[in-house]
Structure 1
């Protein structure tokens, strides 16, 4: 089984991470004003969202959490986890790094594991190759990833890296397979409208019926 097919199966059996919003505190005058604006202007991009949710999402989207270096690291690692293939684009092409940054802002408890994990990657890369993870060659990056991508085989000293990679794998798979690109990659069609053209002729013949009957 190809690695991408294996990851697809993982995505089908487990979403990997909960991304429920934690709500918004609208006690300040600024937030109250924003809520009123949202009530007057219905969002076309997010049907079913309350004005408070739209305000909170917009505020989070406008904020920046990761540094440019951290975003570059996320992008490289996401594409190692889910690279492009002949059928679909890579995780970064689907916008997964931006999704992970949103999660970090929406779920602050993920900030330290994510930021600490990227520091761990850089420290490992500096020790081994004298350069940060994004500056390392592709084979050098894979050497580090191979040490943390398989929990059952990982050495005890790699414990922090394993935990970080597990989190990144969950977030990458969740982010990718909830995008249009990811859904197409799964081959999921869902409910599709069609036109009823009557019972097929071969079925009618099977039961001794004709189209005229």
Structure 2
């Protein structure tokens, strides 16, 4: 089993059940008051201000960004099925996470510098000046923690962080969802209570409500809500 298949098992979710109610209970609509001071996405003004502040600054230098672009595409490359980490915007995700979680900044920046230091020790060149074969050889030294040598432990810790961030960024992107064939919680088809069971308990569906019950062919339609939180279509 390859890496993508393992992640697919971990990230796929459960599906729901398509239910249709019987007409024995009164159905009423409830008006849900709209929370004050929230955006359409439910973000508070403070959260929106923080996002704007984080997006207004840049963490990675151009040189660091070049290395980052290369590394994430090595971790999750494009294939004949889907785009890779670079196309999925993973470097931008990691850029944001470095600013949102500054405790990781030294670890990330130090790891990128470690690659240059290690490359110069081995080949007297910076990491991105090496041939692709030489770069992959260095990555192989730090990509497998159980077999890595003690002298590259810092590189191992850096690569673990980078790999985790790359996988998170990729598999929460549109390209990653498509790669997993993940469609979210999808209701199963249920045809309702069997006729003989309804007859046994002298129950029946209210025919006036049948048009509003969810139909299997409408499972993929996105619900629409008004400003008060009421379902409108």
Matches of 2:99 and 2:2 in 1, distance apart?
34
Shift of 1:48: 1.6
Matches of 1:153 and 1:10 in 2, distance apart?
25
Q: How does 1:116-127 map to 2 (within 5 A)?
A: 116-127=110-121
Matches of 2:90 and 2:106 in 1, distance apart?
19
Q: Deviations over 1:35-57 (max 9, x none)?
A: xxxx5xx756xx12111101110
Matches of 1:10 and 1:174 in 2, distance apart?
15
The answer as to whether partners of 1:65 and 1:105 remain within 8 angstroms in 2 is: yes
Structure 2 residue 50 is the aligned partner of structure 1 residue 56 = yes
Q: How does 1:178-197 map to 2 (within 5 A)?
A: 178-192=172-186
The answer as to whether partners of 1:88 and 1:181 remain within 8 angstroms in 2 is: yes
- The match for 2:161 is 167
Structure 2: 5+ residue runs without aligned partners? 13-36, 196-233
Structure 1 runs (4+) greater than 4 angstroms displaced:
196-199
Higher normalized helix content (fraction of residues): 1
Shift of 1:191: 3.3
Shift of 1:192: 4.5
Structure 2 residue 66 is the aligned partner of structure 1 residue 72 = yes
- The match for 2:76 is 82
- The match for 2:11 is 12
Matches of 1:69 and 1:11 in 2, distance apart?
34
Shift of 1:128: 1.7
Matches of 2:175 and 2:131 in 1, distance apart?
28
Give the number of aligned pairs. 170
Shift of 1:130: 2.4
Matches of 2:89 and 2:51 in 1, distance apart?
17
Shift of 1:99: 0.7
Shift of 1:4: 3.8
Q: TM-score, normalised by structure 1?
A: 0.72
Matches of 2:111 and 2:57 in 1, distance apart?
21
Structure 1: 5+ residue runs without aligned partners? 14-38, 205-213
SS of aligned partner of 1:188: coil
Matches of 1:151 and 1:111 in 2, distance apart?
21
Q: Deviations over 1:61-113 (max 9, x none)?
A: 11011100011111111111111111111111111111111111111100000
The answer as to whether partners of 2:85 and 2:166 remain within 8 angstroms in 1 is: yes
For CA contacts below 8 A with separation 6 or more, give which structure has more relative contact order. 2
Matches of 1:10 and 1:101 in 2, distance apart?
27
Matches of 1:143 and 1:166 in 2, distance apart?
16
Shift of 1:189: 1.3
Which has the greater radius of gyration?
A: 2
- The match for 1:211 is none
